[in-house]
Amino acid sequence: MAVITVVGAGVMGTALTYPAADNGHEVRLVGTHLDEEIIRRCRAERFHPRLKRTLANGVQPYDYTQIPQAVQGADVVVLGVNSRGVHWAAEAVGPHLQPGQIVLMVTKGLESSTAGTLHLLPDVFADRLPPVIREQVDFAAIGGPSIAGELAGRRDTSVIFVSRNETILPRLRALFETPYYHIWTSTDMVGVEVCVALKNPYALAVGLVTGMLEKQGGTDPAGAAMHNVAAALFAQSLAEMAYLVRVMGGGPETVYSLPGAGDLYVTTQGGRNSRMGRLLGLGLPYSEAVEEMPGETVEGVDAVVAIMPAVQQMEAAGKLDAKALPLLHALHEIVTRNQAATFDFNRFFEKLPFGAPESSTRDE
């Protein structure tokens, strides 16, 4: 039996406690300072109010003041905070990490530096740890299509566990894999993390189509919808993911596997990014659409805002092709400048990601 501590009692962090507990491990679920009501309900009723499920047997709730005790003696520390909470987690959890522990990141995103480079969130977390701690723990992350409610409902879920340290992956897989939680392993940290960061804004883009269709009155008398538009946006999303993954040194196979195509597909099927996309597609400017979702963190918006400063600097420096990311640029205009949700489809697929033959590219 292992000890697994999950920091962040949101839906995804809590969902991971189900396979861990089903495997007979001691599982400690630690709420952040934003999760006090969740932890109160978990303690009083053993019921998670957002997942709407009873906690699995063996899961013990802790509040954020108990982080030192919860981390003490853990084999794996899972970080289930949102992307805005990574710096907080490094300060709150980092000093209590112990030699030999594994930090497993559920948090998804990229961060721009003032020097105009993009950083993976596992690296952002690691860089903020005391050096003596950073050198004595290992880091891993999870990527792939995993809706929290389905995983907590013990429905088949397929993901990739990734780490630069290949030797820890069999152990992690053994700790979490169950008959319903299917795990593959990879060392392509760049590919996985870039994909899982970008799938949120691109899912928002695909979600725009729902609102655009409603705005036009829905399907026409012959039943025509806008699946063609959604498919083009989905395909362009994968092309832009592939371009950034290649530039940053990741593997293209990751884009067309679970962390890229798989996670993008499942994220387009619902959730906060899709709801925001619908509102924008209906014609609401972002400043009004955000008022329709009070208190909700839309990771797709956060990701665009976090990524674009570095992207723009890299384009200016010639490190990125300025024509390669038209959909990401359009999303940035929509969510930061209240631009209308429209796309220039003639700019799509101008720069294919893996050196396509000249004859297959669009004429200039």
Active site residue: 52, 108, 199, 215, which one? 199
Q: How far apart are CA 133 and CA 229, in angstroms?
A: 49
φ, ψ of residue 246 in degrees (nearest 5): -65, -45
Domain containing residue 252: CATH number: 1.10.1040.10
Of 144, 166, 187, which marks where a domain is finished?
187
Active site residue 323: no
Sort strands 76-79 and 118-120 into parallel, antiparallel or unpaired.
unpaired
pTM summary value: 0.91
Give all strands of the β-sheet with 3-7 in edge-to-edge order.
Answer: 59-62, 26-30, 3-7, 76-79, 102-105, 138-143, 157-162, 181-186
Same structural domain, 91 and 170: yes
DSSP readout, 117-158? -EEEHHHHHHHTS-HHHHTTSEEEEEES---HHHHHTT--EE
Same structural domain, 196 and 183: no
Same structural domain, 194 and 182: no
pLDDT tens digits, 70-115: 999 999 999 999 888 999 999 999 999 999 999 999 998 899 988 8
CA dihedral sign of residues 293, 330, 310, 348: positive
Same structural domain, 210 and 100: no
Token pair for 256: 């067309």
Token pair for 57: 């047997």
Which segments in the chain show pLDDT lower than 50?
354-364
Query: According to the model, what pLDDT value does residue 270 have?
Result: 85
Q: How far apart are CA 262 and CA 26, in angstroms?
A: 31
Residues of the domain holding 285: 190-360
Same structural domain, 176 and 210: no
Same structural domain, 201 and 269: yes
Q: Which residues pair with 28 in a beta bridge?
A: 5, 60
Query: According to the model, what pLDDT value does residue 357 have?
Result: 41
Same structural domain, 312 and 298: yes
Same structural domain, 155 and 213: no
- Number of domains observed in the structure of the chain: 2
Q: Which residues pair with 119 in a beta bridge?
A: 111
pLDDT tens digits, 48-64: 999 999 999 999 999 99
Same structural domain, 55 and 170: yes
